[in-house]
Amino acid sequence: MKKQKLKDAEKRKKYEAEKAKLENIAKKRQREERRERYREEDKQKKRTRQRLE
């Protein structure tokens, strides 16, 4: 019984660690996509400013 609880706790910790790792990867990807989108928007704004001048 005690061994089973230890195994379950170990499995749960492993699962939570994997889940946290995947969440961090997803957050990093979203951050990179957001930065890229802002870069593109800034380029567009810069182009329109240059056209107006």
How does 13-30 read in b/e, with b if 16+ C-beta sit within 10 Å? eeeeeeeeeeeeeeeeee
Q: What is the pLDDT of residue 8?
A: 94
Please tell me the total number of residues recorded for the chain in this structure: 53
pLDDT in tens, 1-53: 888 999 999 999 999 999 999 999 999 999 999 999 999 999 999 999 988 87
Q: Which two tokens stand for residue 19?
A: 């889940």
CA 42 from centroid of its chain's CA atoms:
22
The residue written with tokens 């990093």 in the block is 28
